[in-house]
Amino acid sequence: MRCLNCRCLSIKTFCKSCKKILSEHTLSKREFNGFKVYSFYKYSDIKNLIYSKHYLHGVFIYKNLAKLSFTKFAKTFKFNQKILAVPLDDNIKSDYSHTAILAKALNSSEIKPIYNALRANSDVKYSGKSLKFRLQNKRDFKILKKINKPVILVDDLITTGSTMKEAFKVCQKAGINVLFGLTLADAKE
């Protein structure tokens, strides 16, 4: 077997060297009118890993990336009350939901994932699309479950911020207290 990042020989998903590098991340922050979105990696650093979500082997990559980032974050996060991790549109595509994997990695004494709670009614793909396209073709999020605790919105990537902002507004309108958004990577360089 090979490391799914650098392709050197490895019996694990990531070799020791890549695992060490991927473990050493610094949270970056973007803010949209007071709504903060934190990311663990620069998109350019894990672009090839992000694209794996379209393939079955992506489940292994996402689980390992989530363990190195989201799980580590959950162990240090203190809010002194129960929080829900809400994956953005955790509809199963390509045999698994990459956002559900990320939300599950946040499971801790204070954070619990809640699945099938926020669903996009639109199947439009944003990959490679402009901000204008994204604004004209909204995700049309719907809340499917009663949420009565503060939430963290979870996604794999933030590019223009349109998806996170739309999800935030839908939650706000429903009276849900959104603490912040959390993503694997930020495409803003």
Answer yes or no: is pLDDT of 94 > 90: no
Share of the chain above pLDDT 70, in %: 90
For the stretch 102-118, pLDDT in tens is 999 999 999 999 999 99
**pLDDT given at position 40:** 97
Q: Confidence band (pLDDT; 50, 70, 90) for 126?
A: low
Inter-helix orientation angle 98-105/58-66, to 10°: 30
The whole-angstrom distance between residue 123's C-alpha and the CA centroid of its chain comes to: 18
User: Token pair 């698994």 is at which residue?
Assistant: 96
Structure tokens at 134: 């994204």
Domains of the chain with bracketed CATH? 25-186 (3.40.50)
Comparing 10-24, 96-110, 114-128, which segment has the lowest mean pLDDT?
114-128
Q: Measure the CA–CA gap between 13 and 77, rounded to whole angstroms.
A: 26
Distance CA 10, CA 186 (A): 28
The pLDDT value given to residue 91? 67
Who's near 148: CB < 8 A, 6+ residues apart?
A: none
Task: Give mean pLDDT, residues 48-63.
Answer: 84
Q: What's this model's pTM, rounded to 2 decimal places?
A: 0.89
Burial 118-141, CB ≥16 within 10 A → b, else e? bbbeeeeebeeeeeeebeeeebeb
SS3 (DSSP) at 63? helix
Instruction: Tell me how far apart the alpha carbons of residues 110 and 90 are, in angstroms, rounded to a whole number.
Output: 21
Question: What is each CA distance from 164 to 29, 99, 131, 140, 170, in whole angstroms?
Answer: 13, 13, 13, 12, 10
pLDDT in tens, 132-163: 776 677 778 899 999 999 999 999 999 888 88
Return the top range by mean pLDDT from 7-11, 59-63, 106-110, 161-165.
106-110
Residue 9's pLDDT band (cuts 50, 70, 90): very high
* Mean pLDDT calculated for residue range 17-34: 93
Report pLDDT for 164.
93
